[in-house]
Amino acid sequence: MKEEFLLIPLSSGKQVQGLLRKPNGDGMFSVVVIVSGFGMDLHEYKNSNDEVSRKLVDVGFATLQFNFSVVGTDRELSLPDRAAELQNVWEWVKHRRDIDTGRMDVHGTSFGVPTIMWANITDVKSFIFVSGVYYLTCFKKQFEGRGATIYYDRDTDLPRSSGRKTVVGPEFWPAVDLFNPVVLAKKIKIPTFMIHGDQDTKIDTKDVEQVFDAVASKKKKFKIFKGGDHGITDVSRRMREEFLADIVRWFKETL
């Protein structure tokens, strides 16, 4: 396995850190771009993105993880800004000589899922959505339930389950209020695999089922892990291995 930390230029003039892994040897590799969730870096919670990445590289895929430009601060980008940075990263990947641009997939977790759905990325072969936060108005209510006051004219401090806080500006909320996952799901025509845990305290299983039903792709799959949490992370090793095997199998089938 080859592993490279690199800097990816954005149209804003900023650069974001990326982590590219690929199998040993030369050649054109199929690639999976991995998108992290709210307030997370490229590794995701408990390095779960790294675990997914290594499993995929072991069977011949290249993977790219990346940080959004605010990583390292206590802030989070608005959904349109996250989507724009994902689009920049996607276009950068498409220009690499070691990547087969006809074989590119996307994997997203939690807030990474609406980021993908909002983004305008082309030539994607398939999606995996893990514990997607689809109904963002419910997402907002969860923070209010933890004592947050939402401000539309200044910064809002959002409490996290870790005890830390994430700060968002007033530009964060308009897209949250407008985001309609069913409308966007109806535009998805490529193979899509949605994964959810029935013990996910952040996302209701019924919400995920509604979005899945709306996905327009003729090849789609929905799997509920009984006893699975948000991200299928704090679970037994057996369940985690099943989850990872499902991801590998899906991308092998669709690329």
Kindly report the CATH number assigned to the domain that includes residue 233.
3.40.50.1820
In a domain, 245, yes or no: yes
In a domain, 105, yes or no: yes
In a domain, 154, yes or no: no
In a domain, 170, yes or no: no
Dist. CA 212–CA 222, nearest whole Å: 7
Confidence class for position 251, pLDDT limits 50, 70, 90: very high
- What's the average model confidence in pLDDT over 38-58? 97
- What's the average model confidence in pLDDT over 20-43? 96
For residue 76, what pLDDT is reported? Answer: 97
**Domain range for 77:** 2-135+179-254
Beta-carbon contacts of residue 161 (< 8 Å; ≥ 6 apart): none
For residue 236, what pLDDT is reported? Answer: 98
Tokens matching residue 149: 């006051």
In a domain, 157, yes or no: no
Domains identified in the chain, total number? 1
Tokens matching residue 251: 């991308």
Dist. CA 100–CA 6, nearest whole Å: 19
Q: Assess whether pLDDT exceeds 80 at residue 161.
A: no
* pTM higher than 0.85: yes
Q: In what order do the strands lie in the sheet with 2-9?
A: 2-9, 15-22, 62-66, 29-35, 99-109, 127-130, 192-197, 220-225
In a domain, 214, yes or no: yes
In a domain, 234, yes or no: yes
For residue 26, what pLDDT is reported? Answer: 86
- What's the average model confidence in pLDDT over 7-29? 95
> In the chain, what percentage of residues exceed pLDDT 70?
100
In a domain, 174, yes or no: no
* pLDDT (tens digit per residue) in 111-141: 999 999 999 998 999 999 999 999 998 889 8
- What's the average model confidence in pLDDT over 171-196? 97
